[in-house]
Amino acid sequence: MEIFVCKDYDAVSEKAFEVMKDIVANKADAVLGLATGSTPIGLYQNMIKDHKENGTSYAKCQSFNLDEYVGLPRDHRESYYTFMHTNLFSGIDIKEENVHLPYGDTKADCEAYEKAMEHVHVDVQVLGIGANGHIGFNEPGTSFDEETHIVTLTEKTRQDNARFFEGDINQVPTHAITMGIATIMKAKKILLIATGANKADAVAAMIDQAPSTDCPASVLQNHKDVVVILDEEAAAKLNR
Ligand code: PGA
């Protein structure tokens, strides 16, 4: 793992953008694995700014998102489909037909997503990390061998996400469809970003403890090309 500790959120977003830009600049038809959450918003803003100012094009790129809530229509304001269009896709020139997010709640829906990814090789997978160490919606205890599957969200994850649902946990969906850890690990490169003191324990477990399903992100120690970009608060509990 290559680990960068930056001063703050803006510096993390800038560094993450450098990694992304390097990939897209060298491969016009790059396949991007994308994530939702508050952490990657700064990265996405930098991509939009760069597209507008420097003309970096995503017209030949494809994107595959990590996950989506079960039970929210795609046009719901808190669906990840809406999030991605609002925070990234509407600001760059990626083609709608090249944008992919998992959707649905059946085994067939999961298999369809794996099939859509069958003939591509994700060049870079952007990841955040949950305060409990989840990546995508792969909660603690998830087997490292899982592909796209339906998950029951933990109370902790639903509490963390209640801020997007008027602070009301009862409005947060109870299930999600997510790429599995085996799906995520197929990416050529992983770009994990984490900021804030509430991520410090999960970050320390990811980097300093032996890989264990107790901290799903710790599986990344087994991947050969991982860049981790942290702010000082998220890095505060690391040994080194
Ligand atoms: P966040 O979520 O970026 O909103 O903190 C990260 C995650 O849960 O994976």
pLDDT tens, 158-191? 998 999 999 999 999 999 999 999 999 999 999 9
pLDDT of res. 157? 86
Closest residue by Cα to residue 9 from 175, 203, 197: 197
Residue nearest to atom 7 of ligand 1 (CA): 130
pLDDT of res. 131? 92
Q: Is the pLDDT confidence value at 47 over 80?
A: yes
36 part of a folded domain: yes
Across residues 122-140, what is the average pLDDT?
A: 96
Residue 28: CB atoms within 10 A of its CB come to 12
pLDDT of res. 134? 95
Number of domains in the chain: 1
Across residues 7-15, what is the average pLDDT?
A: 98
Q: Which residues constitute the domain of residue 201?
A: 2-220
236 part of a folded domain: no
Enzyme catalytic residues: 67, 132, 134, 139
Residue 21 φ/ψ, nearest 5 degrees: -65, -40
123 part of a folded domain: yes
15 part of a folded domain: yes
pLDDT of res. 106? 97
233 part of a folded domain: no
Residue nearest to atom 2 of ligand 1 (CA): 37
pLDDT of res. 89? 98
Q: What is the pLDDT of residues 64-80, one digit of tens each?
A: 999 999 999 999 999 99
Across residues 214-220, what is the average pLDDT?
A: 98
Q: What is the pLDDT of residues 90-120, one digit of tens each?
A: 999 999 999 999 999 999 999 999 999 999 9
pLDDT of res. 149? 98
Q: Is the pLDDT confidence value at 240 over 80?
A: no
Q: What is the mean pLDDT of the chain?
A: 97
Nearest atom (ligand 1) to Cα of 35: 9
Query: What residues line ligand 1, using a CB cutoff of 6 Å?
Result: 37-39, 128-130
67 part of a folded domain: yes
Residue 134 φ/ψ, nearest 5 degrees: -70, 155
Across residues 189-216, what is the average pLDDT?
A: 98
In what order do the strands lie in the sheet containing 62-65? 2-6, 226-231, 190-194, 124-127, 31-34, 62-65, 99-100
pTM greater than the 0.85 cutoff: yes
234 part of a folded domain: no
> Which CATH number fits the domain that encloses residue 115?
3.40.50.1360
Residue matched to tokens 């680990």: 3
- Give the C-alpha separation, 124 to 26, whole Å: 13
Distance, CA 240 to ligand 1 centroid (Å)? 24
